[in-house]
Each structure stands twice: as C-alpha cells, then as structure tokens.
Amino acid sequence: MAVIAAGWAIALNFRSGIQAGYSKASSDKRISSGDLTDISALPVYEPDIDTKVLSRVANLNTSKPSRSRIDVLRYTVQPGDSVFGISEKFGIEAETLLWGNFEVLNDDPHLLKPGQELNILPVDGTYYEWQDDDNLDQVASFFGVEPRQIIEYPGNHISIVDPQIMPGTWLIVPEGRRAFRQWFVPTIARGHAGVGAAYGPGGCTGTYTGVIGTGGFIWPASNHYISGNDYWSGHLAIDIAAGMGAGIWAADSGVIVFAGWSTVGYGNMVMIDHGNGWQTVYAHLSQVNVSCGQSVNQGQSVGLAGSTGNSTGPHLHFETRFQDGFVNPWYVLP
C-alpha cells in the first residue's frame, strides 16, 4: 500500500511541477528509490489555483441523428386528398405516387378515392413486382437505371454477393421512370365533333361552325388558385378550387363540341373548340348548362362546379390544349 500511495503522490507532484513551469533539468531535488517507502520525504502537493479551466454542464438530452427511411409506407386516402397533395406531404414526386400504385390507380390520378390504401415509396422512382422470367439488366434498362441501383438499394434487401430475386418480390427502383398510360378525352375539333361520341353520352355528333375565340383566356372560375392536383406529367390539367355548385364559365369564346357525361373519369364535362387551334376542357361539373354545337362567348356560363366522375371533392378540372397538344394552363391564364 505504501508503494502505491508513493506512486500516486509522485504523479501529483509531477503534474504540479509541470504546471509550475519546472523541468527535469531545472529541478535540483532528486528522489531515490529508497524514498518511495517514506511519503513524508515527498514534497506537499499544492495545485496552482490560478490555472484557468473550462467547465461543462451536464445535459441529459442528447441528439440522435435521423436516418433516411428505406421501406415502403402505407397511407389511407382521406376525403379531399389528391395525388399532388399526398406526394407533397411525403416529399416525393407525384409521378412516384402513381408509379408506386399502378394496381390501385392505373396511372389515372382521377381514380383516387377515400379509403384506398396507397404505397408511399421512400425515394423517387418506381415500384416493380419481379416476374418469373425477369432479367435484372432488362428490368433496369426498362426503367432507365443501372442494375446496381436496384441491387444496392438497402430497402430491397438483395445480396450483393449473390443477387437472387424471388418471383413476386416487390422492388424499389430508385430514380426509375416509365411512360404513363394516359386517360383523357381526345381533342375534338368543331368540324369533326362526331368522334366525341365514343367517350360518353356527352359526345357531340354533328359538324359545327360558330364564333371564333379571341386568343386570350380568362379564369373560368371565381377562385384563382389550386385545390388538388397541379399540372404535371400524370395530370395534364389544373384543379381549380371551386365549391359545389359554383359558377363555371368559358375561358374564351368558341363552339361546344362535348357537353355531358364522359366515360373516362371526367364525369360531367364540357369541351369548347375556339376555332383558332385552341380547345379548353371543364370537368367534374355538377351541372352542364350548354349543348352541342352552341356558340358561347368568353365569360358565359357553361355549368356548375361539382365532384362527378373520379373525384375526391368539388373542384374544376381545367385543361388548355393547342393543336392536339396539352399546354400548362398557368402559361395562358392571366
């Protein structure tokens, strides 16, 4: 015990000497091995009270770094939800939400209904069920990614050493993309309105002439903001906020080429051909106030807002088309 105590005392004296500025060369005092048994022979330890130190207050709350989600979540669609709104809530692209739920939505955002169970992918990309005769290189090529992106994604739980994938396994394809199956009524020109009859009872069957549009557009509803889906590759329109029964009017002058029920999820719908290469579409109406072949002026009533067809709540689905192509309405509305 005496030896241990002596060693402890020597250590304290050594630290004290260093703090006081002593060195081995400058100190005249020497301790012999015989002194180790006599503690009284050691100098008294006197700490330097002028030494500045930093203190640290104990904190019981520690921070834990968050980890990125790697697995698929399940989400129940609520009344008033939209593909655009749900994707924004979970920080993914709207395209990803459709690609992750082809079995439920079939690439059609209008098929969204309250109570549906949706897959929420952890990253942007696609979701794919592995088939019996699948080949990793071919699947990766189809979605525009490298095979390693599928193998190395931790949520897929694939062995890098022996990447065996069983049929029926669902895989997340990070950054994967594919073409959408589009659902819409094709553009109908006033001189060929008969083609619209194939898309529901509202399809017009005649050949019409009438007023020509001004080339400029006004908002077709009193609200000038979105309630639901914005314009994106899976939804070639904007959903304008409009309560049940709110007035809807023509964004520009033209001739009615579709007026009534459509069979592609639009519900009650109106299409106007403006006679200058432009067409506009007004969908999910609760009431249609125009008829086939009728000329309407800009600002004239065409119907009332509603939630008919594939819709989760009252709004106006509004499309602008030019020469058979879709144009983002934000580009032409004032």
**CATH of residue 168:** 3.10.350.10
pLDDT tier for residue 66 given thresholds of 50, 70 and 90 = low
Q: Beta partners for 226?
A: 240
Domain contains 145 = yes
Domain contains 57 = no
pLDDT tier for residue 56 given thresholds of 50, 70 and 90 = low
- The whole-number pLDDT of residue 22 equals 40
Report long-range pairs for 33-36 (Cβ below 8 Å, ≥24 apart): 35/6, 36/2, 36/3, 36/6, 36/7, 36/10
* Domain of residue 292, residue span: 190-331
Do 221 and 277 have their domain in common?
Answer: yes
Q: Beta partners for 232?
A: 235
Q: Tell me: pLDDT of 46 over 80.
A: no
Write down the mean pLDDT value for the chain.
83
Do 101 and 144 have their domain in common?
Answer: yes
Q: How far apart are the first and last CA of the chain?
A: 93
Do 263 and 295 have their domain in common?
Answer: yes
